């Protein structure tokens, strides 16, 4: 019997998630924050707190201090929140709790690929709906129709969506909640770059779960810290599927430092948005570029010169996100530092 014969059927021919490479001079392909606050402005605070940590002891299995701090920041009770190893683990925990064999999860594509992977690992199935609109925006009525036709247990709404930047309105999300029967998972990884969040929808329906992360606006991608926010009943079930020591003492402590210094994070958002607009103003000079909605720390464009832009960036050891045949003529550029953005602008001017 071969090794492949021993592998579960769903994974035998599955194309696993391939993370973006890091062997570049400038990395603008993963929507990370360009600043390392814990290694600069918040370094002393972080080091001081770590001095009092017993590394030889297991971490708090519930990350209580971090949960309390983040819960206070977003205006919920800590009992409505689980700290996870990034949103990835949060998605996995949700699927392991609610998805049974052949259950359906559904979302509009393109979107975060972990929705599909988590469903398959839980022996469920995933339906990705394709938009026929030029800007790749979703058709809410079609999402509802397909969710009901397939008796979907989970409907994912990534808002702002990665990579299209589409921001679902509150009314659109309520319409999905009102007209479907399963869980509605609202992924708010990029919500800090938008104007309003959806925390109030936790009181609108007990089927709502919200995902948050410290990877984007909070500059903590390397920490792997995320949160699941939901009603207490859901949280209690989710705890049963969570590994007991899923967050190291380092991640918990660093997360606390970032949350405690959220004012710094919020000020930096203004800088990122200003830089984003600066790049966009250059792109607007060229007629053959469609700029998708701007609601996050990235810029996604559709253009027949997408491949050339990607290749010219590669020549300069600048990494941007290309979607190849999966999403023809589309590239996504993370907003970096002023200096990094200047180099991208130079390439844009050369290509177009």
Do 195 and 340 lie in one domain? The reply is no
Do 22 and 171 lie in one domain? The reply is no
Answer for the pair 214, 226: CB distance below 8 angstroms, yes or no.
yes
According to DSSP, residue 95 is labeled H
Domain-ending residue, one of 261, 291, 320 = 261
Do 14 and 137 lie in one domain? The reply is no
Do 141 and 246 lie in one domain? The reply is yes
pLDDT of residue 324: 84
Which domain range does residue 161 map to? 42-261
* 211 Cβ neighbours under 8 A, 6+ residues apart: 87, 90, 91, 185, 186, 187, 188, 189, 226, 227, 228, 229
CATH code of 285's domain: 3.90.1150.10
Q: At what angle do helices 249-260 and 43-51 cross, to 10 degrees?
A: 140
Q: Under DSSP, is residue 104 helix (H, G, I), strand (E, B) or coil?
A: strand
Tens digit of each residue's pLDDT (9 = 90 or more) over 92-147: 999 999 999 999 999 999 999 999 999 999 999 999 999 999 999 999 999 999 99
Domain-ending residue, one of 211, 229, 261 = 261
What's the residue count for the chain?
Answer: 352
pLDDT of residue 164: 98
Q: Under DSSP, is residue 262 helix (H, G, I), strand (E, B) or coil?
A: helix
According to DSSP, residue 20 is labeled P
Low-confidence ranges of the chain (pLDDT < 50): none
* φ and ψ of 130, to 5 deg: -100, 135
Do 237 and 289 lie in one domain? The reply is no
Domain-ending residue, one of 230, 261, 292 = 261
pLDDT of residue 20: 65
Domains of the chain: total: 2
Do 141 and 217 lie in one domain? The reply is yes
* φ and ψ of 320, to 5 deg: -120, 170
The CA-based diameter of the chain, rounded to the nearest angstrom, is: 61
Look at the block and give the residue holding tokens 């607009």: 277
pLDDT of residue 325: 82
Answer for the pair 158, 209: CB distance below 8 angstroms, yes or no.
no
Do 73 and 176 lie in one domain? The reply is yes
Answer for the pair 120, 12: CB distance below 8 angstroms, yes or no.
no
pLDDT of residue 18: 67
Beta bridge partners of 128: 107
Q: H or E stretch including 212?
A: strand 208-213
According to DSSP, residue 58 is labeled P
* 10 Cβ neighbours under 8 A, 6+ residues apart: 120, 121, 123
- Distance between CA atoms of residues 151 and 143, nearest Å: 12
* 80 Cβ neighbours under 8 A, 6+ residues apart: 71, 202, 229, 230, 231, 232, 235
CATH code of 62's domain: 3.40.640.10
According to DSSP, residue 115 is labeled H
Do 190 and 232 lie in one domain? The reply is yes
Do 134 and 238 lie in one domain? The reply is yes
Do 292 and 184 lie in one domain? The reply is no
- Distance between CA atoms of residues 163 and 322, nearest Å: 11
Taking CA atoms, 268 is separated from 33, 47, 219, 261, 336, in Å, by 10, 22, 10, 11, 12
Do 253 and 281 lie in one domain? The reply is no
According to DSSP, residue 210 is labeled E
Do 230 and 242 lie in one domain? The reply is yes
């Amino acid at each position: 019997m071969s090794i492949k014969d021993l592998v579960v059927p769903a994974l035998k021919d599955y194309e696993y998630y391939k993370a973006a490479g890091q062997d570049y001079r400038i990395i603008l392909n993963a929507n990370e924050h360009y600043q390392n606050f814990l290694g600069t402005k918040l370094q002393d605070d972080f080091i001081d707190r770590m001095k009092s940590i017993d590394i030889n002891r297991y971490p708090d299995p519930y990350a209580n201090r971090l949960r309390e701090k983040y819960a206070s920041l977003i205006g919920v009770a800590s009992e409505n929140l689980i700290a996870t190893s990034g949103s990835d683990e949060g998605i996995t925990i949700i699927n392991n709790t609610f998805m049974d064999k052949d259950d359906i999860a559904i979302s509009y594509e393109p979107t975060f690929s972990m929705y599909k992977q988590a469903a398959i690992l839980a022996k469920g199935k995933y339906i990705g709906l394709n938009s026929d609109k030029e800007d790749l925006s979703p058709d809410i009525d079609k999402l509802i129709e397909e969710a009901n036709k397939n008796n979907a247990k989970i409907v994912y709404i990534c808002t702002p969506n990665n990579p299209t930047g589409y921001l679902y309105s509150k009314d659109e999300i309520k319409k999905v909640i009102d007209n479907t029967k399963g869980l509605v998972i609202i992924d708010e990884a990029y919500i800090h770059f938008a104007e309003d969040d959806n925390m109030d929808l936790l009181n609108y329906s007990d089927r709502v779960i919200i995902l948050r992360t410290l990877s984007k606006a909070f500059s903590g991608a390397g920490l792997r810290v995320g949160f699941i926010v939901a009603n207490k009943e859901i949280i209690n079930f989710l705890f049963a599927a969570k590994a007991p020591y899923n967050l190291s003492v380092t991640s918990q402590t660093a997360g606390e430092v970032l949350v405690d210094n959220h004012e710094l994070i919020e000020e930096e958002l203004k800088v990122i948005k200003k830089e984003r607009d600066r790049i966009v103003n250059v792109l607007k000079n060229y007629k053959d570029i469609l700029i998708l909605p701007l609601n996050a720390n990235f810029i996604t464009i559709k253009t027949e010169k997408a491949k050339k832009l990607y290749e010219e960036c590669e020549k300069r050891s600048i990494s941007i996100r290309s979607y190849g045949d999966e999403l023809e003529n589309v590239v996504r550029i993370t907003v970096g530092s002023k200096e990094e953005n200047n180099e991208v602008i130079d390439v844009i001017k050369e290509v177009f």
